Amino acid sequence: MGDDGPAKFAEDLAVGTIIDLGTYSVTHGEIIAFATQWDPLPFHIDQAAAESGYFGGLIASGIHSLAIFQRLAALGAYRHWSIIAGRALRDVELRRPVRPGITLSGSIRIDAVTPTRPDRSAVTTTGLLTAAGETVLSSVTDSIVRNRPEV
């Protein structure tokens, strides 16, 4: 359950609904810290190497960008749902580099709510991270969400 009252069940999630997930500002230090731990390529961790490389400067790891999206989705949507678990993550596209100082905006669109058992449904969403109106990341996620208990 989220902090906004009772969790939403699968039946409460309307196909076509777009949920604003809020924003996140990416810092230089966190790009380096994340990449040092999880994706230590020079264009993620070394300013000089990044400036002379293809992107002309430091950029966040794609996995870092996906983690930022997940944080926004968890706080802005999933924690308000009666979610059991994530089931699949697919069609992840890294469309533009994420640079230090950028502010990312997240959203998800509910694409399908499909009952799979009497007590649960599969919920498919398309997620986006954008910056200044341009998509930097898109993905499709399947989650398992509880159906409303029968009384």
Beta bridge partners of 107: 20, 128
Domain boundaries, the chain: 10-26+59-146
C-alpha–C-alpha distance, residues 31 and 12, integer Å: 37
pLDDT at 1 over 90: no
CB atoms within 10 A of CB 69: 25
pTM of the model: 0.92
CATH superfamily of 10-26+59-146: Hotdog Thioesterase (3.10.129.10)
Residue-level pLDDT at 47: 93
Q: What is the pLDDT of residues 116-132, one digit of tens each?
A: 999 999 999 999 999 99
Write down the mean pLDDT value for the chain.
Answer: 95
Question: How deeply is 125 buried, as exposed, middle or buried, from its count of CB atoms within 10 A (0-12, 13-18, 19+)?
Answer: buried
pLDDT band with cut points at 50, 70 and 90 for residue 40:
very high
Residue-level pLDDT at 6: 72
Q: Which of 90, 82, 91, 40 shows the shortest CA–CA distance to 61?
A: 40
C-alpha–C-alpha distance, residues 77 and 100, integer Å: 26
